[in-house]
């Protein structure tokens, strides 16, 4: 079967000038592909960073340092020199920094020398995700850190912020010196790498429930009683930790399988390196999880565990982007379509 080739552009077709209302920006400023890539990278770093600061809020028990939302108690700015208040309020202020990176990405996409609609929509989607996260964070406070809202807060960050930011970073690199060629040479490799995403998301979700069932539910520093995940009463923590560990083990085995398939199919060094990093992070988390459980879940180790989990998710998403979507690869040909290349 012949390999399909992307249709050649019509030489008589003019490039997309972008939204008419934004053309005045393009007449005054022009963003290079490198600036667009910088904006995307900043957005990715900022979104990962605010997830880690949010985890810090939880493990320090500062979730209700500001007892309402969007104000901090009854004022816009905190007035008490109280550590939990400053930790929670500082995390809220980071939302503006994350929003600024999304706005920078939108501006760069609108003024890009060669307008690309996909980059604009991804950037706008990021800003929408930040807004959704702010609302979910507010609901978490208004409902006194109910575990349902807290788990949703973390998972929405993974799915609606980190994934789009990573996709934006990948696609923004097209046309720059950054390597952007998809390396999965067949459907098998692409699908095996893609399968890591739902398994990883399930493992992370189980991890949020484990935290919700343990002593780091977010309200200890302010002496607030927080509703915990307790479907099995006093045995809930052990029950969910066992299941979290089992799913994480399956996730780790899946990464090893994906690495072996990528190596077997000669998918390329960048893909195997990304999978190697993911596997190493999962292994470290496994060892750390056993240690922190034996030490009765100290907040500092839990925060390191969450940090490693977030970085693992980011590395797996990046491995998926390196591999490329399965639909763009042809079974049995051993080559990817030119559409999938940079």
DSSP state of 342: -
- Per-residue pLDDT at 277: 97
Contact 151, 102 (CB under 8 A): no
Q: Mean pLDDT score of the chain, rounded to an integer?
A: 86
pLDDT digits (tens, 9 = 90+) for 302-315: 999 999 999 999 99
Helices marked H in 143-268: 147-156, 163-172, 187-213, 236-264
Neighbouring CB atoms inside 10 A of 234's CB total 7
Place of tokens 């008419």: 20
pLDDT digits (tens, 9 = 90+) for 261-303: 999 999 989 999 999 999 999 999 999 999 999 999 999 999 9
Cβ partners under 8 Å of residue 282, min gap 6: 248, 251, 252, 255, 312
Whether residue 2 is predicted with pLDDT greater than 80 in this model: the reply is no
The whole-angstrom separation of Cα 212 and Cα 9 is: 53
Q: 3-state class of 266 per DSSP?
A: coil
DSSP-assigned beta bridge partners for residue 226: none
Whether residue 6 is predicted with pLDDT greater than 80 in this model: the reply is no
DSSP string, 24-66: HHHHH--B-HHHHHHHHHHHHHHHHHHHHHHHHHHHTT-TTSS
pTM over 0.95: no
């Amino acid at each position: 079967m012949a390999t399909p080739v992307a249709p050649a552009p019509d030489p008589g077709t003019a490039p997309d000038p972008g939204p008419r209302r934004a053309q005045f920006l393009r007449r005054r400023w022009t963003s290079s592909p490198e600036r667009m890539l910088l904006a995307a990278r900043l957005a990715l770093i900022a979104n990962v960073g605010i997830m880690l600061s949010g985890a810090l809020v939880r493990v320090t028990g500062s979730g209700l340092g500001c007892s309402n939302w969007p104000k901090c108690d009854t004022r816009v700015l905190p007035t008490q020199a109280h550590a939990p208040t400053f930790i929670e309020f500082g995390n809220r202020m980071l939302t503006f920094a994350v929003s600024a990176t999304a706005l920078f990405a939108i501006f760069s996409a609108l003024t890009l020398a060669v307008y690309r609609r996909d980059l604009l929509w991804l950037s706008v989607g990021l800003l929408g995700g930040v807004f959704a996260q702010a609302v979910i964070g507010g609901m978490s406070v208004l409902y006194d850190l109910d575990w349902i809202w807290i788990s949703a807060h973390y998972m929405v960050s993974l799915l609606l912020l980190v994934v789009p930011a990573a996709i934006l970073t990948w696609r923004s690199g097209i046309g720059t010196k950054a390597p952007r060629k998809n390396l999965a040479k067949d459907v098998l490799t692409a699908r095996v790498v893609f399968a890591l995403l739902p398994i990883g998301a399930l493992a992370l979700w189980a991890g949020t429930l484990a935290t919700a069932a343990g002593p780091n539910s977010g309200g200890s520093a302010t002496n607030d009683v927080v509703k915990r995940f307790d479907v099995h009463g006093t045995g809930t923590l052990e029950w969910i930790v066992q299941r979290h560990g089992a799913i994480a083990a399956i996730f780790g085995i899946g990464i090893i399988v994906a690495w072996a398939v990528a190596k077997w199919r000669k998918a390329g060094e960048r893909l195997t390196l990304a999978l190697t990093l993911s596997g190493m992070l999962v292994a470290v988390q496994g060892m750390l999880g056993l240690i922190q459980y034996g030490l009765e879940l100290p907040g500092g180790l839990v925060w390191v565990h969450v940090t490693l989990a977030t970085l693992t998710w980011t590395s797996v998403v990046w491995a998926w982007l390196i591999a490329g979507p399965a639909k763009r690869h042809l079974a049995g040909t051993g080559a990817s379509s030119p559409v999938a290349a940079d």
